[in-house]
Amino acid sequence: MLAERLPGLLPDLGDHESMEVTAIHSLCGLPASQVQLLRRPPFENPHHSATAAAIIGGGSGLPRPGAASRAHRGVLFLDEAPEYERRVLDALRQPLESGELVIHRSAGTAAYPARFQLVLAANPCPCGKAAGKGLDCTCTPVMRRRYLARLSGPLLDRVDIQLQVERVSLAEFGQAAAEEDTAAVAGRVLEARARQSERLRCFGLETNSQVPGRILRGELRLTPAATRILDLSLERGVLTARGYDRVLRLAWTLADLGHREAPGPDDIGQALGLRQAAAVAA
């Protein structure tokens, strides 16, 4: 449910983005007369039984875009992520770095944009009952480890937020109405997006997710006091160099949401905590 709400939090697509997204969708076989200019960020949730070509792109003849490219500028949601083919999960690493999917086939090579927000959901074990006290779970520790190990380290290194979601009790479920609605949160996201695009305009960029490491650690460098905990994690080998940059991007977003000029030690600490929450809990 959280993953499906995510596109609703994203701002409308601008003219350029809208053209880009519409062009990709029109390549996917819809007759031109049925293609309308898409203004909302797309949401794609291919099933784990879908072929690699359907998710990543490919097929016979000239490679066509897959769900990952149709999710460009939107959200790609993989439910029960460990159930997907290993080569599909591994192929997602490329677009998570470059925002592009290059598909090689004998008929030729095609490059399609694929800059999406990836949401992966996984049960704690194959039977799915290990959450909470896990009393009903019948899986052995080896089965659980093997199941979660299907999500490779290099893929998870590119995932910025890892959350352990506890089972919702009936009492908590009844209180949910008191929470903020999607429109209120979308307003805050819009504001935070405006702050970052203003700051990044001089680099020709729009969102924190697009900022390359050299700018994060160069023009946008933070004080040593702010990055201390991050520097320590890198030194101790708890964090990869890629992870270091990813924590910085997330910290900038937290600062933008909190109307702060730049991330302080608290933003960095929170970003690091969000990245490692599930790993620590496991």
Sole residue written with tokens 């929450």: 277
CB of 272 to Zn ion, least distance (A): 30
Which of 56, 64, 44 lies closest to 118 in space, CA to CA? 44
CB of 125 to Zn ion, least distance (A): 3
Q: Where are the alpha helices (DSSP H) in the chain?
A: 2-9, 15-26, 52-56, 67-70, 86-91, 93-98, 141-149, 153-156, 170-175, 182-200, 213-216, 224-235, 241-257, 265-281
Are the C-beta atoms of 101 and 68 separated by less than 8 Å? yes
Q: Contact between 192 and Zn ion (CB under 5 A)?
A: no
CB of 70 to Zn ion, least distance (A): 33
Nearer to Zn ion, 254 or 278 (CB): 278
Sheet of 43-44: strands edge to edge? 43-44, 75-78, 117-120
CB of 47 to Zn ion, least distance (A): 22
Number of neighbours of residue 181 by Cβ within 10 angstroms:
9
Nearer to Zn ion, 128 or 273 (CB): 128
Nearer to Zn ion, 127 or 257 (CB): 127
CB of 10 to Zn ion, least distance (A): 34
Q: Which of residues 109-148 bind Zn ion (CB under 5 A)?
A: 125, 127, 129-130, 137, 139
Nearer to Zn ion, 167 or 242 (CB): 167
Judged by CB under 5 A, the number of residues near Zn ion is 6
> 36: helix, coil or strand?
coil
Q: Give the x/- contact pattern for Zn ion in 216-245, rule: CB under 5 A.
A: ------------------------------
Q: Which two tokens stand for residue 251?
A: 């910290």
The residue ranges that bind Zn ion (CB under 5 A) are 125, 127, 129-130, 137, 139
